[in-house]
Structure 1
Amino acid sequence: MSSPTRISQLAMLIAQHTATLDRFFVESKLPTPSFEPDALSSLPIPDDAKEVKAAQLELIEACAELQALVTGPKEYLHYTAYVSIRIILRFKLDKSFAVGESSTFEAMSRFSGLSVMNIKRIVRHAILNHRFFQEKTPGIITHSALTAILAKDALARNAMVVQLEEFVPAGIKGFSLANNSDKGMFDIFAEDVSRGARFGMLFSKEDEPPSMLINNYDWDSVQTFVDVGGSHGSIAIGLANHFPHIQCTVQDLPETAREGASRLQESLKGRVDFAAHDFFTPQPIEADVYYFRSIFHNWSDKYCIKILQMLIPALKKGARVIIHERILPTLDTLNSLDAKRAIKMDIGMLQLLNAQQREQDEWPELFRRADARYRYVGAKKPAGGIRWIIEATWEG
């Protein structure tokens, strides 16, 4: 008997995982997902329902793969007009090596003139989200059915280029250029309060609770804590509520610090305070821990190094730096929702700020380049969290 085809395998997987999810909805007395106005806005699968969560992730992957296969590579090209694809076409990465051969990030970098770092993030984004290229062996890139068509079919390739070059919004140029400005995104938003507020609202909803940090770090030996760029202080407030012995300071731009102080509950005054501070200037406060939440991914390496160097005037021996943000996935963890979010965020940082998410092995080097007296401790990802707790200590 012949083995089942890939589309048959996917259909069976979809049926199996759909049954698991359907059983969960019935047993939990939840409505079946739909597109009606009163449908569930998200699926309330608890963290301890590991079988159901795994079924959900595998079902999403199987459905996406089956859709791509039964659409056909030539037709599927019309549904992939995103930033990584535009870059691939503009720099002719699909033509950088022949169909049937393989390439590397380094070879594609030499061909295009783009850095190895940018080639890696762009190609992996395209693989994961659009099935452009394949990376079955780490660092070895081969064509997929889609990029093979682009490489061989001039008419199909031209149609894709016209869609992207003529119809995609000008925002894909990069934020500053799209705004006819030589200023960065934050400066542009500072000049347009309503627009800045609208953008800020996008990130106002917590994507993970403060408990992911609070419950996954040893705070007993910490007496003083500085949240650098801490906005209105949600992390510091959560920490102060759980650990009354910790004195917390939240630093941000003057208006944000004033607003945070005005919102602070009376019971925490004296244990949580707010201060205006620009993290590109010398740190004025000596503390046990300096904490950065989703700050470093807004800046390229040279600026991150400066942020770390500006801490040095205040650092005492044994002081800790905690960086709390996403880490780019490795090849063996790419097929997960969390990995997709991290890679999409990485491309977003490239578009808006010419900045980046980082891989786990890039963090020790970043601290070393800032100052050899930093000692990298490590990085860990709490169960159920999306951010990693990245830590270094000051040995000076």
Structure 2
Amino acid sequence: MSFPSRISQLSALIAEHTATINNFFIENKLPTPSFEADALWSLPIPDDAEEIKAARLAVIEACAELQALVTGPKEFLHVNYTAYVSIRIILRFNLDKSFPVGESTTFDAMSQFSGLSVMNVKRVVRHAILNHRFFQEKKPGIITHSAPTAVLVGDDLARNALIVQLEEFCPAGVKAADALEKWPNSEENNQTGFSLANNSDKSMFDIFSQDPARGARFGMLFSRADEPSTMLLDNYPWNDVQTFIDVGGSHGSIAIGLANQFPHIKCIVQDLPDTVAEGVSRLPADLKDRVTFMAHDFFTPQPIMADVYYFRSIFHNWADKYCIKILQKLTPALKKGARIIIHERILPTLDTLNTIDAKRAINMDMGMLQLLNAQQREQDEWSELFCRADPRYRYLGAKKPAGAIRWIIEAEWEG
């Protein structure tokens, strides 16, 4: 008895799930995906349409595997070393903003706008069309926007995110191997690919702090939430919590959400002085008695006693020895039964490696290496980290709410 080949299985799976998605769009009178400039920026799949969301992920994963298989291993090794050159030039010279969405332009007009020669504009734009579906050239020499460039023109946060990734993160990746060779297995955040890419002996955070424009651009990257705060607020027993400290809590979005939903909780947001000052200026007047801000460096002893100490996407910015120090600096203030919540991604297990979420976590882990000599962690590494910090920490486990990106990782102080 013969069995279908893997490529046949993938082809059938893609056809089946694509039909499911397409039928959903038709039945609900929704527009189907398109690269036209007037296409929706995101697919119109509601959060509660679990079957359709799962079908979409299945299609994405199967298409990637099928493409790799039919490419063949030898050709698969080819690296497109020009991949993002055109995008960086487009963004650097604002070619995407050289004409309005819904109108057209020419290579000559883009040249006059940017100062680039017509030849360079033509080669850059056509490279971007071919490789990234940036712009469209339906008639020779007549350029219109595509869906991706329409998003860039209309969404400053999306445009900024792309700039930061290409201008700050990618050069650090190019230098990551050099950093590992120069500083083998370093845990220092100023001995990284990012440091080498910037010809500096400083860390990424120090470099950004000394360059306000780059620092603001980096901060803007994280100004849009990647998951709703309800993923935390609706999936933890808050009724018995009286005091909550968000350590490294920036402008207090989590504390503000918690105070609004649970009026009995007093929240304190700790961060560096400038961040705290900005947080105070943004705080709604009706929350000033329940949300306060405090300048605090988490590498110094914690001065406030609380029921819960919360860290959101903090530990993945630091190597183990510094995470241990952060946990140790909490202990002077800890009372018996105090909880520590760490809220961030966890690396996937072997049986879940070939998924979109897994790839995102692993890519983030590599990003932490090249930027900060930091890391994402596997689930069993958290219990070890708490134990190394102090055996009086009792690790309670980790859970990932349905639909969430981050895990809720928890420990209790036994005193």
5 Å-filtered alignment, 1:1-396, equals 2-79=2-79, 169=171, 171-173=173-175, 174-396=193-415
Give, in whole Å, the separation in 2 of the partners of 1:339 and 1:206. Answer: 20
CA deviation map 1:217-276 (0-9, x unaligned)? 000110000000000000000000000000000011100000000000010011001111
CA deviation map 1:299-336 (0-9, x unaligned)? 00000000000101111111110000000000111222
Give, in whole Å, the separation in 2 of the partners of 1:189 and 1:29. Answer: 47
- Tell me if structure 1 keeps the 8 A contact 2:306–2:338: yes
Does the residue aligned with 2:237 lie in a helix, a strand or coil? Answer: coil
Q: Which amino acid aligns with 1:256?
A: T
- Tell me if structure 1 keeps the 8 A contact 2:171–2:197: no
Q: Which amino acid aligns with 1:208?
A: E
Match of 2:125 in 1: none
Does the residue aligned with 1:78 lie in a helix, a strand or coil? Answer: coil
- Summarize the Cα distance change of 1:80–1:54 in structure 2 as closer, same or farther, 3 Å threshold: farther
Match of 2:118 in 1: none
Give, in whole Å, the separation in 1 of the partners of 2:18 and 2:414. Answer: 53
Q: Which amino acid aligns with 1:227?
A: D
TM-score normalised according to structure 1 size: 0.76
Shift of 1:79: 4.0
Q: Which amino acid aligns with 2:287?
A: L
Give, in whole Å, the separation in 2 of the partners of 1:16 and 1:75. Answer: 28
Match of 1:91 in 2: none
Q: Which amino acid aligns with 1:387?
A: R
**Which shifted more, 248-257 or 64-73?**
64-73
Give, in whole Å, the separation in 2 of the partners of 1:15 and 1:70. Answer: 17
| Residue correspondences, number | 311
Shift of 1:183: 1.0
Shift of 1:354: 0.4
- Summarize the Cα distance change of 1:370–1:81 in structure 2 as closer, same or farther, 3 Å threshold: farther
Shift of 1:80: 6.8
Give, in whole Å, the separation in 2 of the partners of 1:296 and 1:2. Answer: 51
Does the residue aligned with 2:77 lie in a helix, a strand or coil? Answer: helix
The runs of 5 or more residues in structure 1 that have no matched partner are 83-167
Shift of 1:9: 1.9
CA deviation map 1:172-223 (0-9, x unaligned)? 2110111111111101100001101111111211000111100000001100
Question: Runs of at least 4 residues of structure 1 off by over 6 A?
Answer: none
Does the residue aligned with 1:327 lie in a helix, a strand or coil? Answer: coil
The runs of 5 or more residues in structure 2 that have no matched partner are 83-169, 176-192
- Summarize the Cα distance change of 1:81–1:296 in structure 2 as closer, same or farther, 3 Å threshold: farther
- Tell me if structure 1 keeps the 8 A contact 2:172–2:371: no
Shift of 1:40: 2.3
Give, in whole Å, the separation in 2 of the partners of 1:170 and 1:46. Answer: 37
Give, in whole Å, the separation in 2 of the partners of 1:230 and 1:20. Answer: 42
Shift of 1:295: 0.2
- Summarize the Cα distance change of 1:323–1:81 in structure 2 as closer, same or farther, 3 Å threshold: farther
